[in-house]
Every structure is written in structure tokens, then in C-alpha cells.
Structure 1
């Protein structure tokens, strides 16, 4: 497995990842898609200069469907992002799908499948896998029940997995990994800490309540040999403390990766 970090498109981000002796950066464009696309040539240059590959490109939070079906403008934008991922020699594009309250569950699932079918076909021609994120941010494709419907039908649709989202939703992340680990294309490392039944903080991975050893053991058992992407996410671990937290996580997982 390779160890990397969620980052951005500035030169110093690539330089810092190299100084930390990481294997890749992940670029999550979200509402900065046009900024990313505009600076694609610079990103390619930084990646080459620092020998720092882009391990995944992703877009969270947007509306992919509405009551009438696929939102064409969003699909076209994701096509452009998949093209950009291919130019960066990045083989994973991460996406999701919103739920539309005005229509039935069946229609939501059907529209989501149609949306992903388009992305999968487009990505296949460019050597890019499509993976759905299990974050709940404007996304309903995040539970085993939905996986059985959508991923069960779409055999070439993969999963970007983050244990913290399952923990905060009251699920069993070890069971989900056991059942769906073969479909994982990318993994986030984000700490989770629940106190008194409530989310308290997202501390550095390795300094939280997640059983990372057991999680990685299941990944190994499932043959996962992909990327582990550090996601600093705490409002408390910022500044100098945040930097120390990232260094701790890097050291912690380098001792777990075989």
C-alpha cells in the first residue's frame, strides 16, 4: 500500500509531500473545479518536478441528479475532471450522488445508476476507475444497503472508503470492509472520536478510537494494494499542532504498512 495525503494544487503542497517522503497527493476539487482545470499544466509540472504522483482526483457535494434525471452540466464537468485525471496519470476519480426528495427512492437509485454508467464508460476509455465516496455530504451512496443495489448492479463501480463516516453513522466499518473490501479503490485515513454518544473531534489517525490494525488486516486479507490517503480534518489540530499530528500519522502508518 502507498501512503499519501489530501493536498491542493500549489507548488508548496507537492514540495511538502516530498519532504515528508509520502508516495502521492490527492486532489479534491469540490467547488474549485475550474481553478484546478485552469492550472492543470502547473499541476503536471509540480508532480513531475517533485516526483509526486496524483493518486486520486475527487469532487464532493454537488448535485448530480434532479427530479428530471441527470444534470448534464455536472456530467460534462466530471468528464473534464476525468480527462484531467488521465492527463495526470491518475487512475481513480471519486464522486457521489445526491438524493432528490421530490422523487421516489427507486427513481433516485435509477438516476444514480444511469449517472455512474456514463462516468464508468467515459473513465474506461481513459484508464480511470470511478469510485463513490462514503461521506454523507450530499450523497446517499454510502451504506451497504445502497451498495447492494448500485454497486451490486454496476460491477465496475468502486468505493472510496473512510472509516470515520461509518463510525459517526453508527455502523460497523470492519464489517463493511469485510463485505466490500474487494471493491475499494481508494482509502482515507481520518481519525474519529465519539464521546458520550456524540462526535467530539477528528484527531490525527492513529490517535483516535479506530482500530487501524484490524482495518488494515482486513484490507490485506481482501488483497487491497492501493492508496491510503491522510485527511487532516480537525478544527482543534491546526497550525503547529496540526503539523505534528500529520507527522504522527505518517509515522504510525509507516509502521503498519508491510
Structure 2
């Protein structure tokens, strides 16, 4: 039987593991995004590792969203490359199987040059991760990242067979793309999945409510994941300015119950 795990994006602190354990979740995901020095996170790794071992809650993904990884001349930004290396090292230490990254588009370069620069970047990251037992995946979020659709995937992932995808259906929905077809076509490359609700009203993004209280066809989504043999993490991403505080906590609990049923857990 195919096995998927349910977890959540969380603050990087020991208490997050305890809360996840109380909620019956199996893993945490950490996002060390642009503006946060990688050293801020890596300094916490011993504490996080101890909490993971104590609670039995793993770490399924560490990612970095938003930075300029490619300079205007097409070269790799060494500062961000070193940040990625440090976070991949943290993945190895925490037993985390996936590091997630994007790649910015440089307007001064042609599309071909941007594709070439991205391939160069991910070739380096894949080799570094491989030596540490960590897979590299691109995110399909548009935050300073152009690797978000079939066109880019065919060129970049088509050239790099070991490069995975971190998939979030909300980004496809807001961009007018067919998220179910994308999973069918690229399911074998998906390494990690974000579970975030999305609501479109009058053709515009309205809110990102808890998954299960939105317009995404999560039942069919899960059927397709089963169909393509996906066995990775499903990571709940609280992402709404409405669902916060006590309401947000209730929304997360709703999503946990909803997805446990989709995972055939009764």
C-alpha cells in the first residue's frame, strides 16, 4: 500500500515538534526564506534534532524561498549558494530527505540564458545533495521563481532527471493552469506537496483558507497522487490572513481530520 505522510510547515523551535505530536502529525517542514540568514537556522539544528528524536516527529522538507540565486550576468550568487549548502547540511543532520529551492528570472538575460543558468545552479545543488543523501526540488510558487510550469519543467527537469518538484495546487489554480494534469504529467518527479486551500472569486484570488474549505478538488487530487505512486509528504501550509489565532487553529484541525480521511485512516 502506498504511504503518504501528513505534516505541517512550522516555526523552527522545539515546541513545534511537541505540538505536531499532539496533533497526530508525522513531520514538520521548515522554510528559511530570503532575509533570514541560514546560520540562524543551522544554529538551532542540535535543539531541533533532539526534539525530533524525543517526539518521533520527523523533518520532511527544508526550503528557501525568494532570494536571487542568479546574478545579472548569469553567474551563481555565491552567498546564496553557500546558504543552500548550509541548509542541505542541516537536512542531512536532521534526516530530512528534501531541500526545496527556486530560481529567479534575470530580465537582462534571454530565456535561453535563464534556463542555462538554472540548469547550472541545480546541477551544483544536486551533486552537493547527492553526497549527503538529500534530494533537490524546485518549488512551483512564483516568489522570485520562474520554474512554475510545463515549459520550464520540460527544459530544466527534462535535462536534469534527478531534479524533483515541490508541488502546490494553489499556485497552478491562481495561474490558470490544470493542476491535475500537471500531477499526471510530472507526478514521478514530485518530492513534496503543500496542502493549502485556494478560493477564486470573479476570476481573482480571494483567500487561502484551510484545505478542505476551499475550491480545490482534493479528493481527485489525492486519487491522482495515489495513481502516480506518490509516497512523500503532504505538508499543511496555513496561509490566510482570515484564518488566524483560534480560528486558524480550528482550521488546521479541520484539515488534519479531512486529510486523515483522504489518507484512508478512518
TM-score of the pair, normalised by structure 1: 0.98
Asked if 1:51 corresponds to 2:56, the answer is yes
Q: 1:17 aligns with which of 16, 20, 42?
A: 20
Q: 1:120 aligns with which of 120, 126, 129?
A: 126
For 2:27 and 2:152, how far apart are their aligned partners in 1? Answer: 30
Asked if 1:40 corresponds to 2:45, the answer is yes
| Partner residue in 1 for 2:66 | 61
For 1:24 and 1:257, how far apart are their aligned partners in 2? Answer: 15
Deviation string, structure 1 residues 157-200 (Cα, Å, up to 9, x no partner): 00000000000011110111111011000000000000011100
| Partner residue in 1 for 2:246 | 240
Kindly report which structure 2 residues correspond to 1:148-187, keeping only aligned pairs within 5 A, or say none. Answer: 148-187=154-193
Deviation of 1:11 (Å): 1.9
Residues 210 and 238 in structure 2, CA contact (< 8 A), matched pair in contact too: yes
For 2:214 and 2:242, how far apart are their aligned partners in 1? Answer: 13
For 1:11 and 1:37, how far apart are their aligned partners in 2? Answer: 14
- 30-39 or 212-221: which moved more? 30-39
CA RMSD in angstroms comes to: 0.8
Deviation string, structure 1 residues 195-238 (Cα, Å, up to 9, x no partner): 01110000000100000011111111101011100000000000
For 1:38 and 1:227, how far apart are their aligned partners in 2? Answer: 25
Count of matched residue pairs: 258
Q: 2:207 aligns with which of 193, 201, 205?
A: 201
| Partner residue in 2 for 1:90 | 96
Runs (5+) with no aligned partner, structure 2: none
For 2:138 and 2:109, how far apart are their aligned partners in 1? Answer: 22
Deviation string, structure 1 residues 1-39 (Cα, Å, up to 9, x no partner): 000000021222111100001000001111332211111
For 1:22 and 1:183, how far apart are their aligned partners in 2? Answer: 24
Describe the SS at the equivalent of 1:200. strand
Moved over 3 A (4+): none
For 2:102 and 2:256, how far apart are their aligned partners in 1? Answer: 28
For 1:62 and 1:19, how far apart are their aligned partners in 2? Answer: 34
Deviation string, structure 1 residues 69-125 (Cα, Å, up to 9, x no partner): 111111111011101100001110000100000111111110000000000001011
TM-score of the pair, normalised by structure 2: 0.96
- 73-82 or 156-165: which moved more? 73-82
Runs (5+) with no aligned partner, structure 1: none
